[in-house]
Amino acid sequence: MSPAILVVGATGNTGQAVVGTLPKLLQSSNALSGHRVIGLTRSMKNPVAQKLAKLPGVEMIEHDWVEITSDWLRDHQVTRAFIASHNEPNHFVEESTFHLAALNADVKYVVRISTIAANVRPDCPAYYPRAHWAIETLLSSPEFANLQWTSLQPNIFSGFYFSSAAELIKQYRKTGKQDTLKLLALEDAPVGVIDPYEVGVFAARLLSQEEVSVHNKAKYVLNGPEDITGRQIVDMVEQYIGTRVEHVSYQNLSFLDLLYKHKLATSGQLKNLVSSFRQSQETMREGKCSASTTSKEVLELAAPKVTPAEMLKGLLEE
């Protein structure tokens, strides 16, 4: 059996790009051309998993990533890995367990997805960036010196930022009526929203590097190529529908109440932790999430190119 690069979250919004991009990059590598790409899915009935399984050089395996052990990694000869974890309250426990298994299995390099760079700190009011900070601190400890890693700190993903705008446009085209446009965006704060597929492409670039030591312990900030404000999103919507948007609600986080009610409450999650998501937007208000913060290494290896206008257009075509 040949060595493998594991993609945890292969059917997710970043993992799909990793699986789709990595095999071709490996083919042109002298050192890594013999590596397989293993994509992990919880169900092979998933249409995305079935599509990815047809790609040359890709093997999709049905397995829950939180159950991965050192023995499992050794059995599948995993030498490098990508992981995009969830942001629920048990995030730290589950992702740190994965990294410990990777360390003990002699996995050489891991690329992980973090969150907005300005929020990844021990005093962030929102709980989930603190978990990412804790993971990065753990990986930076002397005990993990044998596991090389890179943490990607992408700005907010396009789907979260533009989905409500796309929904209003589709509704208006169908019915001629408008509901309130509920935007996650602040009216005047410039934010470098990024397409998650481009984050996955950059991760694949890292995983295909023959020498990764230059990226060890690096924390790379990823933004889209252009900033956009909430007011500019409203302007784009009005161009599509040919009339004025009647009602706008900026910085609208009402989806958190629905998330808690329909998913997290049933699993015993603490409501105050979920509500702390609301405070993660302060760094946007402070202007710390603009496109200008993108790491130079990102621009050199795989500069994001998808603009806000293209992001909205893509959602309308789905």
pLDDT tens per residue, range 137-165: 999 999 999 999 999 999 999 999 999 99
What confidence tier does 269 reach under pLDDT thresholds 50, 70, 90? low
Mapping DSSP onto H, E and C, the string for the chain reads: CCCEEEEECCCCCCHHHHHHHHHHHHHCCCCCCCCEEEEEECCCCCHHHHHHHCCCCEEEEECCHHHCCHHHHHHCCEEEEEECCCCCCCHHHHHHHHHHHHHHCCCCEEEEECCCHHHCCCCCCCHHHHHHHHHHHHHCCHHHCCCEEEEEEECCEHHHHHHHHHHHHHHHHHHCCCCCEECCCCCCCCECCECHHHHHHHHHHHHCCCCCHHHCCEEEEECCCCCECHHHHHHHHHHHHCCCCCCEECCCCCHHHHHHHHHHHHHCCCHHHHHHHHHHHHHHHCCCCCHHHCCHHHHHHHCCCCCHHHHHHHHHCC
The mean pLDDT of 260-266, rounded to a whole number, is 54
Residue 265 has pLDDT above 60, yes or no: no
Q: Which pLDDT belongs to residue 57? A: 93
pLDDT tens per residue, range 97-109: 999 999 999 999 9
Of 315 and 29, the one with more pLDDT:
315
Residue 272 has pLDDT above 80, yes or no: no
Domains observed in the chain = 4-155+195-222 (3.40.50.720), 158-192+224-288+305-316 (3.90.25)
Cβ neighbourhood burial of 305 (10 Å; 0-12, 13-18, 19+): exposed
Q: Which pLDDT belongs to residue 271? A: 59
Residue 55: both structure tokens together: 């790609």
Pairing mode, strands 4-8 and 78-83: parallel
CB 156 within 8 A of CB 116: yes
pLDDT tens per residue, range 186-207: 999 999 999 999 999 999 999 9
pLDDT tens per residue, range 6-28: 999 999 999 999 999 999 999 98
